[in-house]
Amino acid sequence: MDAISPQAFEALLPLACAWAEEQEQLILARGVRLTEAQMADALRIGIAFSDRVRLMKTDQIPLPKHPELRSVAQETGLLSPDTVGLTVRYGIYIHSTAWGARQLVVHELVHVRQYEQLGGFDAFLRKYLGECVTIGYPHAPLEQEAHVIAAKICP
């Protein structure tokens, strides 16, 4: 994918934040609390408010309706038909084929901690999406941190 311009990124960021907040609200309303074992993992990861986290099983991770936002999400590899997990602050989508996969849940819980540490939607998405469009999704430092921690907790 050709990198998007800084102006396009700034224009899309509020749309991405609004979409993420909308998805979080849906998950918080319909999702399930972490199990005891998942709460223990959340504690190990350092999540401050693990009682707020909800998981939601889905047959497909939703894509943004906004055409340009949707296109960038797909072109960066952030969202695709193969996506099995997505964290929107305290809400986590888990694809039904990966439901119960501890390493995936731990990976997504790391993103919850990153949201907390960075201060919410705007700060997290600015950094995370910025890394995805400039460095590339699989090589983004926040994504790599989630992989490393998940591998340490779930060897």
C-alpha span between 20 and 86 (Å, rounded): 10
Q: Is the pTM of this model over 0.85?
A: yes
Asked if 87 and 81 count as a contact pair (C-beta separation under 8 A), the reply is no
pLDDT of residue 136: 86
Query: Has residue 1 been placed in a domain?
Result: no
Query: Has residue 87 been placed in a domain?
Result: yes
Give strand pairing partners of 32.
Answer: 55
**In 3D, which of 105, 81, 88 has the Cα closest to residue 153?**
105
Query: Has residue 88 been placed in a domain?
Result: yes
The Cα-based distances of 91 to 10, 121, 134 in angstroms read: 24, 12, 26
Query: Has residue 97 been placed in a domain?
Result: yes
Q: Which domain holds residue 123?
A: 6-153
Which token pair is 113?
Answer: 């901690």
Query: Has residue 45 been placed in a domain?
Result: yes
Query: Has residue 99 been placed in a domain?
Result: yes
Domains: count for the chain: 1
Query: Has residue 110 been placed in a domain?
Result: yes
Query: Has residue 121 been placed in a domain?
Result: yes
One digit per residue, the tens of pLDDT, for the chain of length 155 reads 456 889 999 999 999 999 999 999 999 999 999 999 999 999 999 999 999 999 999 999 999 999 999 998 888 888 988 999 999 999 999 999 999 999 999 999 999 999 999 999 999 999 999 998 888 888 999 999 999 999 999 98
